[in-house]
Amino acid sequence: MGTPEFPDLGKHCSVDYCKQIDFLPFTCDRCLQVFCLDHRSYMKHDCPKGNRGDVTVVICPLCAKGVRLNPDEDPNITWEKHVNTDCDPSNYEKAVKKKKCPVPRCRELLTFSNTIKCRDCSIDHCLKHRFGPDHSCSGPKKPDSSFSFMGFLSTNTKEAPPPSSSSSSSRWSSLFASAEASISRLGNDISQKLQFASGSDGNSGKTQEKNGKQNCGKVTVDVCPKCSRGFRDPVDLLKHIDKDHRGTSKA
C-alpha cells in the first residue's frame, strides 16, 4: 500500500466485504474507523454509535412543551422527570389556541407577520381587514365641541383653593384702581374729541357738546382685568377674554 516515496498513502475501508483502498479515506467521528466514499455515512457502515448525536424531541400532550430525549437514558425516565418538574397543563391553552382576526367569519390566524393594529380602535386585525371600513371601525373618540367659557370659569373657581382674605382684598383693590384709571383716561379722550368738535361747529355744537358730556357720564364701562381695556357690552368683554387671553381670567 502506498509508494516508496509515500508509504502511508491510502488506507483500506474497514467494511469486511469492501476493503477498498482509498487515497482520501474518511474517518468516522463516532467509531473512529476508516471508510471509503461509499461507506462513509453511519447507515452505510452500520455505526454502533451513530445515534449518539441525534436529537429527538417529543411534544407533551398535557402542556404542549417539547421534551428532549437523552440517548443515554431510558425515555420513560426522561418523561417521568418532565411530568414531575416542568409539566404545566395551564400552558396548553396558550400554546394551542391561536389568536384570530376579530372580524366575523374571518378565520385568519394572527401571527407576527400578518398582524396590524388599527390606529383608531387599537385592535389587532389581519392584513385583509386592516382598514377601518373593512372591520367596521368605530373611529377615534371625537372631542367635545360644546365648550362654554362660563362653565370653564366655574370649574376653575371650584378647583382653585380658597384664597385668603388679605390676598383677595389686595387683588380687588388693584382691580378697582386699574378700572378707575382706565375710565378716567377714556373720559379725557372723549372730552378732548368733543372740544375739538365744538370749536368747528360753533354755538350749536356747544349745546350738543354739553348734552354729550352729560350722557357720557352715565355710560357704564366694563374693564378687562388683564389689559385694562374698556367694553360697553359685557358680552364683548367675555369674547375678548376668551379670544385674547384664552379664558385665563377669573374675574
Q: Is 64 part of any domain?
A: yes
Q: What is the pLDDT of residues 145-158, one digit of tens each?
A: 555 545 555 555 54
Is the same domain home to 92 and 103? no
- What 3-state class would DSSP assign to 225? coil
Specify the pLDDT at position 2.
58
Which of 58-72, 121-135, 235-249 bottoms out in mean pLDDT, i.e. has the lowest? 235-249
Is the same domain home to 43 and 62? no
CA separation for the pair 66, 100 (Å, rounded) = 24
Q: Is 89 part of any domain?
A: yes
Domain boundary among 119, 139, 159: 139
Q: Is 240 part of any domain?
A: no
Residue 59 main-chain phi, psi, to 5 deg: -85, 125
Is the same domain home to 21 and 45? yes
**Cell for 193?**
374729541
CA separation for the pair 152, 18 (Å, rounded) = 100
Q: What is the pLDDT of residues 99-110, one digit of tens each?
A: 889 999 888 888
Domain boundary among 89, 115, 139: 139
Full domain range(s) for residue 84:
53-97
Q: Is 146 part of any domain?
A: no
Is the same domain home to 45 and 74? no
CA separation for the pair 117, 203 (Å, rounded) = 83
Q: Is 79 part of any domain?
A: yes
Which residue blocks in 17-148 are alpha helix, DSSP H? 75-85, 91-96
Q: Is 22 part of any domain?
A: yes
Specify the pLDDT at position 34.
93
Measured CA to CA in angstroms, residue 63 lies from 55, 58, 59, 77, 203 at distances of 20, 12, 8, 18, 110
Identify the band that residue 42 occupies on the pLDDT scale cut at 50, 70 and 90. confident
Is the same domain home to 38 and 72? no
For the chain, what percentages of helix, strand and coil (3-state, to nearest 5) are there? 40, 10, 50
Question: Residue 202 CA to chain centroid, in angstroms?
Answer: 76
**Cell for 156?**
376653575
Task: Report the domain count for the chain.
Answer: 3
Residue 204 main-chain phi, psi, to 5 deg: -65, -35
Q: Is 157 part of any domain?
A: no
What's the CATH number where 38 sits?
4.10.1110.10
**Helix 165-201 vs helix 203-217: angle between axes, to the nearest 10 degrees?**
170
Measured CA to CA in angstroms, residue 52 lies from 39, 73, 200 at distances of 19, 11, 121
Q: Is 248 part of any domain?
A: no
Is the same domain home to 102 and 133? yes
Identify the band that residue 200 occupies on the pLDDT scale cut at 50, 70 and 90. low
